[in-house]
Structure 1
Amino acid sequence: MRLTCFLLLLALLSGCRTTFTSTLPDTAKWEKITLTFPGPETSEAAADNPFTHYRLDVTFTNGEHRITVPGFYAGDGRAAHTGAENGNIWQVRFRPDLEGEWTYAGKLIRGTDAYLGGDAGATKTVKSYEGAFFVGNAEPGENGRLIRDHPRYLRWAESGDYFLKTGVDSPENLLGYADFDGTYRYSDDFREGESTAEGLHTYAAHLDDYGTRDPAWKDGKGKALIGGLNYLASVGVNSIYFLTLNIGGDGRDVWPYTSHEVFDRFDVSKLDQWEIVFDHADSLGMMLHFVLNETENETLLDNGDTGPLRRLYFREMVARFGHHRAVTWNLGEENGPNEWSETYQDNRQQSDVIAWFAEHDPYRNYVVLHTHPGEAAFAEIYEPLLGNEQLGGLALQLGNPYSANEVTRKWLDLSAAAGAPWIMTVDEVGPWWRGLDPDNATPNNQDSLRALTLWGNLMAGGAGVEWYYGARSPHNDLNLEDWRSRDRAYRWTTHARKFFERHLPFGEMEGRNELLASEAQFCFAREGEVYVVFLPFGRPATLDLSGTEGEFTVQWYDPRKGGELIDHGELVSASDGQVGLVPPGEGDWACLLKKRPKE
């Protein structure tokens, strides 16, 4: 159930302080509420800039629980459908996390640089708003929001289930879509040898995946992208990665502003259309992975500092989209020093961004850094941030995708030793020109990436992957139009996630490769109780069960086909110490050992 409250009252003089009161209909826990408030008549281009000279904050209260949420200028309140650039509507989006009676109180203030808050110039209250609503039980099947209460995994607040990411990293310019207002590519000057694209995305291959009850805007726009999300969800994809600002970067077709040359005015109809897409992804259980800039433009705003323009940008992103159930704020693609950009954010600037989100995102969404590839870059850029409790994790880029197990475990251990454990996901696999091959490519690297990258990350205690499509592949990181190009890969990626979800207490397990005789195999264990041994190359394994006791059942899982466990009634005894495990066929296999209850 989505709830929008329109307060249809006569507009008074903007200089007068007026309080509007409203009682809303009941809603369910975790459902999105959009409060719509009248304010001064203005526009995106008004001299009295509505994005900088006004600030709306609304505080929601339930007993002792209080949360203050930023609002935003919304044009006529229906800009996604009307394309309006002007109007007198401000909005706030909220998702209640408690049942019972809620009240809210909001203020729209005006003043020079009012959006900065604090002592940013003289301000006065233009309008005040208050009201109440009742929140009932969560709807059946509701997971709630993703929260961080485990050192290695996110967890759904309502269901209590842990979240493993099985997502797509491409196209990074997902939002460079022809059906969004104000969207264009301002330059086709692509770097030689890297990804190129002709025109904006249309995703026409997914038009037939659109459902008759699915959302759209402006008499049918958006259907192909909505259909693409439907397809991805149908094959188990639960996360999408996208840039929100690629001015000066690769695609040069995505930004939240009214143009690529203006950084303090936002395109309200385009952002309202983005919200329709994000709402739909949210309804499908997908994480929204917001990548806030590219390596080429990480100093575009305020020379990399968290100054006025960057704070304005972040505030708009949080106000408009921070309410979603599953949000990742990524500081930027390949964040930090590199060989091909003249400027970059340093550790202080990175820390300032991380601190800004910790202070100003009322939902405390997950914050990560996307890495440059290679251990030298890791040591230079990311080691100095160890111990930062406000950073949620690293979005690992691996130049060598087959190092996933080693790199994941190393940075889990380093961050834990520093006193602030980080979550580790693999969010780009190299080399840059290849990534994950399409299903029909020959030769094909999918088997290797499944065994050594996907399972390598998960078997180290990592939290999952998003697949990147290299520059020299069809349907690549910039020109992808048909996600079905990797259909087989999505399915075996989902098989891995389902194995962990259905058969393992993985939140209580850890990587224990040292229990195996071969270094080319992986072990994940809660010692003495449950073990998973992964055989990337299908060779027999030897597992050390000495120091434990009892008998263990042995079952096998086919990572390529998924399905049920293969059980031939095999048992091994801890008293044997070193036990041999022989896979039932060729290729990669997972072996599950569980302690047999005493009779």
Structure 2
Amino acid sequence: MKKHFLYLIACTFLLISCTEKKKEEKLTEYQRWHTVTLSFEGPETSEKADDNPFLNYRLNVEFTNGDKTYEVRGFYAADGDAAESSAEKGKIWQVRFSPSEMGEWSYSATLQHGDSIALSNDKLQGEEISITNAMGKFNVVASDKKSPDFRGKGRLVNSKGYFRFQDSGEYWIKGGADSPENLLGYEDFDGTYRMQSSESKGEAKTNEQLHRYAPHLEDWNNGDPTWKEGKGKALIGALNYLSSKGMNVAYFLTLNILGDGKDVWPYADPDDFTRFDVSKLEQWEIVFNHMQAKGILLHMVLQETENETMLDKGDTGSMRQLYLRELMARFGHHLAMNFNLGEENGYAEFTPVSQNDAQRRAMTSFLKKIDPYNHPVLLHTHSHEPARANILDSIVGFKDLDGISLQVDKREGAAEVVETWKTKASKAGHEWMITMDEIGMWHTGARSDSLDGNHDSLRRYVLWGTLLSGAAGVEWYFGANNTYHDLNAEDWRSRDRLWEITKHALDFFQENLPYWEMQAQHSLINSKEAYCYRKEGEVYAVYLPEKGNYSIDLSETEGDFTVSWFDPLNGGSLQPGSVLKLKGGSKIDFGTPPGDKEQDWIVLIKR
């Protein structure tokens, strides 16, 4: 009896100890906005398996925090370490998620198998496959990151025609590189090669050599990411350089089969659109993660004008759906990115085989449907009328399209094009984000600093002209006929001065203007060569291109205003000119600038 009593006491003590220990066990901890990657063991398979793991399996994961729920697609991850191992087979499936809220999150994962089930949203379809780690919880705490790292501020969405951090409400404006468009045609990525050099008239010429970015090896820093014993350093260094110049966006294609570079695709085989190269995509992810940490938005361009009918003849059929779902599953968790429907989308005389309006709309709506995070979706335009208007007139006002990625051939008219389409979109009842992403002419674009030291016409007509007309940012295209052009550029230092001038404009907008509440009103200035962006009665930003006698019409408002000047060539603080104050109610002169009267200046007038 005594032994039995002691046994019960021991069991009770052990039970209490186990209970207390369980209470003390902490949930796995992640930081807000940081990527949560969960791995699940499932069936052993491979990229080349007869039972296609990309098409015939579907991993769905539901994440819940209070009344917030995200449904996120997962993906086949081979051995779970494919960036390093280059594995093509394994039994690991993964999901990536960036939590928006702090506190306790729970998740529930389901892996289902069935014919082409990856194309379906029907949760009842298919056979459920047993996986490890199918349910669980984790805790999310505050991020320790600071700007420019996007993990310090959260996700960018479209708001009032501009990028805005979803939670804080802070607005953000972009500036950076449109070239090289084949950024991912890089020799250190698995399965990457150039199918053929380009010979077509009217495009940048290539040879068999992939990108190496050797001039940027010196920009790689200890602690920066690499893969496979040191690969990736030059590209990571290039992104370090771009960020160090204050640039915050890079444009890149994810599919240029049939296009100009012919060196970027996500597939294991460019002739099979149903199977993806797991190790290559994992290496892309390393680069994308670094871009986000450096404050660089992912401008993801999904196709080119030459291949926009390659998948499903332009429809959003099975192959296009599979392609978009795979990209979303692997990369949609990133905080700062926008999807671009494709370069020069739609019919023009030089590209007659193209998507039509119904196909564009279907692709746009599908992206919105499968995106848990509401990334902006933009449409890249043709460079001139009527090709541009023929396409945009039919889709302006379409609610699923957030805006346009604008191409303009003649830089002198860029500001007018932005203003025209901002006005048309507003009248159609759906305000557009317009980003100035490719400036012409096609053969020239933005030349190297050695040929165009201060980039006078770009600075005037494109940088300040479009930003002061409502553009949400500017990216620089390197042209087709320059020595360092849109396909072969290896060293972003060739445009070092251009980045500096762009950074001056971004700083001015961020520090001085409620630009998301402003509209273009160039006619307030007594010169057709000047630009004026204003919030009526509150603030006016005016670009004066050269020496002259300038005035502004303030008849629309009353009261006193301060006058400051900003140097677009050298940046820095606001400076006083010859006139310190203006009074509303009439037309009035600005006075003279504080420095070189021959150059361009920005005048800031604030109540």
Q: TM-score range by the shorter chain?
A: over 0.9
How many Å apart are 1:160 and its aligned residue? Answer: 2.9
1:226-249 per-position Cα deviation (integer Å, ceiling 9, x unaligned): 000000000011000000000000
1:138-170 per-position Cα deviation (integer Å, ceiling 9, x unaligned): 33531101022x222111134432111101000
Residue equivalent to 2:141:
136
Structure 2: how far apart are the matches of 1:575 and 1:315?
Answer: 55
Letter in 2 for 1:130: M
Letter in 2 for 1:237: M
* Contact 2:411–2:457 (CA under 8 A) maintained in structure 1: no
Letter in 2 for 1:146: L
Letter in 1 for 2:558: E
Secondary structure at the aligned position of 2:274 is classed as coil
* Contact 1:112–1:122 (CA under 8 A) maintained in structure 2: no
* Contact 2:215–2:490 (CA under 8 A) maintained in structure 1: yes
Structure 2: how far apart are the matches of 1:50 and 1:24?
Answer: 31
Residue equivalent to 1:312:
322
Deviates more, 1:258-267 or 1:309-318: 258-267
Residue equivalent to 1:461:
470
Structure 2: how far apart are the matches of 1:521 and 1:122?
Answer: 61
Structure 2: how far apart are the matches of 1:420 and 1:580?
Answer: 37
Letter in 2 for 1:289: H
Residue equivalent to 1:553:
562
How many Å apart are 1:353 and its aligned residue? Answer: 0.5
Residue equivalent to 1:403:
413
1:68-107 per-position Cα deviation (integer Å, ceiling 9, x unaligned): 0010001100000011011001100000001111100111
Structure 2: how far apart are the matches of 1:205 and 1:138?
Answer: 34
Secondary structure at the aligned position of 1:281 is classed as helix
* Contact 1:57–1:108 (CA under 8 A) maintained in structure 2: yes
* Contact 2:541–2:604 (CA under 8 A) maintained in structure 1: yes
RMSD: 1.6
Structure 2: how far apart are the matches of 1:239 and 1:132?
Answer: 34
Letter in 2 for 1:124: E
2:184 matched to 1:175? yes
Residue equivalent to 1:186:
195
Secondary structure at the aligned position of 1:274 is classed as helix
Secondary structure at the aligned position of 2:130 is classed as strand
2:117 matched to 1:105? no
TM, length-normalised to structure 1: 0.93
How many Å apart are 1:546 and its aligned residue? Answer: 1.6
C-alpha change, 1:75 and 1:529, in structure 2 (3 Å) is same
* Contact 1:52–1:264 (CA under 8 A) maintained in structure 2: yes
Number of matched residues?
572
Letter in 1 for 2:599: G
Structure 1: how far apart are the matches of 2:62 and 2:449?
Answer: 50
Secondary structure at the aligned position of 1:323 is classed as coil
1:153-207 per-position Cα deviation (integer Å, ceiling 9, x unaligned): 1111344321111010000000000000000011124213531123100000000
Deviates more, 1:45-54 or 1:160-169: 160-169
Secondary structure at the aligned position of 2:94 is classed as strand
Structure 2: how far apart are the matches of 1:99 and 1:121?
Answer: 32
2:77 matched to 1:74? yes
Structure 2: how far apart are the matches of 1:531 and 1:70?
Answer: 46
* Contact 1:186–1:252 (CA under 8 A) maintained in structure 2: yes
* Contact 1:294–1:333 (CA under 8 A) maintained in structure 2: yes
Residue equivalent to 2:12:
none
Out of 373, 379, 400, which is 2:389 matched to? 379
Secondary structure at the aligned position of 2:580 is classed as strand
Secondary structure at the aligned position of 1:397 is classed as strand
Residue equivalent to 2:41:
38
2:103 matched to 1:94? no
Structure 1: how far apart are the matches of 2:283 and 2:231?
Answer: 10
Structure 1: how far apart are the matches of 2:72 and 2:551?
Answer: 55
Out of 248, 270, 277, which is 2:280 matched to? 270
**Unpaired runs of at least 5, structure 1:** 1-21
C-alpha change, 1:575 and 1:495, in structure 2 (3 Å) is closer
1:335-369 per-position Cα deviation (integer Å, ceiling 9, x unaligned): 00022234100000000001101111111111000
Residue equivalent to 2:349:
339
How many Å apart are 1:574 and its aligned residue? Answer: 2.3
Letter in 1 for 2:598: E
How many Å apart are 1:56 and its aligned residue? Answer: 0.5
* Contact 1:74–1:268 (CA under 8 A) maintained in structure 2: yes
2:593 matched to 1:590? no
Residue equivalent to 1:254:
264
Q: Please tell me whether Structure 1 or Structure 2 has the larger radius of gyration of its CA atoms.
A: 2
How many Å apart are 1:466 and its aligned residue? Answer: 0.6
Letter in 1 for 2:358: R
2:250 matched to 1:240? yes
How many Å apart are 1:24 and its aligned residue? Answer: 5.0
* Contact 2:198–2:261 (CA under 8 A) maintained in structure 1: no
What is the percent sequence identity of the aligned residues?
49
Residue equivalent to 1:565:
574
* Contact 2:160–2:516 (CA under 8 A) maintained in structure 1: no
Residue equivalent to 1:212:
222
TM, length-normalised to structure 2: 0.92
2:422 matched to 1:418? no
C-alpha change, 1:592 and 1:342, in structure 2 (3 Å) is closer
2:514 matched to 1:527? no
Letter in 2 for 1:135: V
Secondary structure at the aligned position of 1:251 is classed as coil
Secondary structure at the aligned position of 1:579 is classed as strand
Structure 1: how far apart are the matches of 2:509 and 2:125?
Answer: 55
Structure 1: how far apart are the matches of 2:56 and 2:387?
Answer: 41
Letter in 1 for 2:274: D
Out of 174, 184, 209, which is 1:165 matched to? 174
2:461 matched to 1:449? no
* Contact 2:157–2:164 (CA under 8 A) maintained in structure 1: yes
Residue equivalent to 1:64:
67
Structure 1: how far apart are the matches of 2:385 and 2:480?
Answer: 23
Secondary structure at the aligned position of 1:567 is classed as coil
2:291 matched to 1:291? no
Structure 2: how far apart are the matches of 1:453 and 1:104?
Answer: 47
C-alpha change, 1:575 and 1:279, in structure 2 (3 Å) is closer
* Contact 2:454–2:497 (CA under 8 A) maintained in structure 1: no
Secondary structure at the aligned position of 1:448 is classed as helix
Residue equivalent to 1:11:
none
* Contact 1:226–1:280 (CA under 8 A) maintained in structure 2: yes
* Contact 1:538–1:589 (CA under 8 A) maintained in structure 2: no
